[in-house]
């Protein structure tokens, strides 16, 4: 690892930081972003620098948003691990039903997923908006 810097989970800041990292580390080969927005910002900066994201520089992030999964399908991103945002609303709906004395399911399972070149195009429809 040659550098680490916060981007405050924003696309524009991810792009600005990646632009700086390209200047100080022009031979960078991989980017790990803690959310898709920062990763997409990195893609924009890499393209502007004449690099081919997904090929010259491997990019992996977390979230599983439709935009990042589409970039995988397009070949400009390498992988996304989904941190399923659908769990929050379901958890609150279940809690609300429970506190009202309603019957609730005993085994609710929402699995996180992962996207890469083998499934991004096929599973794009289930990616979070």
Q: Which residues contact 34 (CB under 8 A, 6 or more apart)?
A: 9, 61, 62
Range of the domain at 19: 11-85+112-117
CATH number of the domain to which 73 belongs: 3.40.50.2300
Cα distances (angstroms) measured from residue 103 to each of 88, 91, 94, 107, 108: 19, 14, 9, 12, 13
Residue 62 lies inside a defined structural domain of this protein: yes
Domain count, the chain: 1
Flag whether the pTM goes above 0.75.
yes
Query: For 63-109, what is each residue's pLDDT tens digit?
Result: 999 999 999 999 999 999 987 666 788 888 988 999 999 998 888 77
The token duo for 110 is 């929402």
Can you give the pLDDT at residue 107? 81
Question: With 80 as the cut, is the pLDDT of residue 129 above it?
Answer: no
Coil, helix or strand for 93? helix
Residue 9 gets which letter from DSSP? T
């Amino acid at each position: 690892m040659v550098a680490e810097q916060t981007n405050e989970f924003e696309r524009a800041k991810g792009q600005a930081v990646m632009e700086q990292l390209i200047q100080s580390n022009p031979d960078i080969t991989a980017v790990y972003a803690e959310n898709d927005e920062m990763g997409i910002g990195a893609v924009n900066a890499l393209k502007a620098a004449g690099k081919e994201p997904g090929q010259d520089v491997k990019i992996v992030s977390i979230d599983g948003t439709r935009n990042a999964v589409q970039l995988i399908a397009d070949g400009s991103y390498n992988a996304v691990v989904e941190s399923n945002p659908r769990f929050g609303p379901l958890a609150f709906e279940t809690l609300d039903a429970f506190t009202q004395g309603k019957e609730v399911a005993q085994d609710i399972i929402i699995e996180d997923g992962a996207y890469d070149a083998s499934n991004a195009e096929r599973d794009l429809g289930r990616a979070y908006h």
